[in-house]
A and B are shown apart, each in its own frame.
Chain A
């Protein structure tokens, strides 16, 4: 860390606040002792936990719940562990890239590969984020309907929460409040335990990993949806920008990796809990493969009682809320980076309204679309999958090129095993996303 006199250097508000955050980290690092090490770890966790838990968004919850309802526990519980490994490998790279360069993902693409790929990435990201936000508000309104709250009120309230914490809180506090909201994602674990799952069936799934009913078009579609839920383009942009805004440096990379691993564990635990829950109480019911989320909530209510139903609905609302918070920040950071605006949650809205506007505008648009009577929500959901399937391999390619750019990364370039894992994931994604694209465009021929 470079040290000079701040008094001699005119710095922006955000740099000043970040310097104070970094000074707290430096002070803890200088003190020996186990308690100080724990405090340091607690202070440095955040971006990894947030991105991974926000990845269990409303769309993810619905996907996992429907997966368990359709296929039971058998194939997907072990598959989600593999998904967690993939997510960790991808997201860990954003920690190193952000900590080494102190630049966001959009800024790196724009600056290194020029405006064509910069615009391509930005338009894709913003479009996908708006469409994904629509699915978050759908999840929030559906969840709140269980408590008798009209969609109009729940959508407006969710938008209000999103805007309030982004506008009123500065980065560190914003991150801490978001982490508390994210902790609500774990509610699915006790709900799964309430279902009294057969642990022998879970153990059997790991010992005898098999595909129920063989490989069919429907099964492949669910596999694609599950892996599509595990990693998404916004996650790369969000975590890298978050690492930069938090002020992490190369000295913090190990803590960033720990943070990402912790988030991965939480994400996988919740995803598995959802599959176990619906695999236990919904799977095998007449017509369960065709159940939508409302049907699943009703069955959970019938089997676990109102407490189980309410907790599940709360979890759905939380999942939509934390993802909306992350997606909103992701959009603002990316647009700010692309246009070189002041781009930090440390900045007050009065000094950086342009930074906050794209994120909050996209959230407001998404909330409004959900409330339009007879809006083609199914069509929009399909479109987000198509956009994401085009964009994800591209986003991964940029990430890998940057992580192998020694001029930028120096000694922190990818190691051999990281490249081997990441390129395998890219190949896997291209094939899966290509098949997914073909399947949604030609559903009958798939």
Chain B
């Protein structure tokens, strides 16, 4: 077992991460990002209004 284990340790190398390249959102992905922007702006406006009214 120990011998087998040490042999495997000697020959094993972790798999490298997958290649990653930046994409330009198109189609439904682009739409999803715009929906996210609208959601974030809406939430930030709500928060700004709440804090300006002394929310605590």
Residues of chain A at the chain B interface (Cβ within 8 Å):
1-7, 9, 11, 15, 18-20, 22-24, 26-27, 30, 100-103, 107-108, 111-114, 117, 120, 247, 249, 376, 378-379, 382, 386, 389-390, 393-394, 397, 401, 408, 430, 433-434, 437-438, 440-442
Contacts and interface: CB of A to CB of B under 8 A. Distances in A.
A438 B4 contact: no
Contacts of B50: 386, 440-442
B25 to A, nearest CB: 7
Interface in B3-49: 4-5, 8-18, 20-23, 25, 29, 32-33, 36, 39-40, 42-44, 46-47, 49
A112 B5 contact: no
16 contacts: A3-B13, A11-B13, A19-B9, A19-B13, A23-B5, A27-B4, A100-B18, A101-B18, A102-B14, A103-B17, A113-B23, A378-B56, A386-B47, A394-B40, A434-B42, A434-B43
B55 A112 contact: no
A120 B40 CA distance: 11
A6 B13 contact: yes
Given A27-B4, A378-B56, A394-B36, A1 B12 contact: yes
Contacts of A120: 40
A437 B47 contact: yes
A6 B29 CA distance: 41
A56 to B, nearest CB: 27
A376 B5 CA distance: 55
Interface residues of B, number: 34
A112 B20 contact: yes
Contact of A26 (B8, B20, B42, B56): B8
Main secondary structure of the interface of A (DSSP, over half): helix
B20 A3 contact: no
Given A112-B23, A113-B25, A438-B46, A390 B16 contact: no
Given A27-B5, A102-B14, A430-B39, A401 B20 contact: no
A398 B49 CA distance: 28
B36 to A, nearest CB: 6
A2 B13 contact: yes
B12 A19 contact: yes
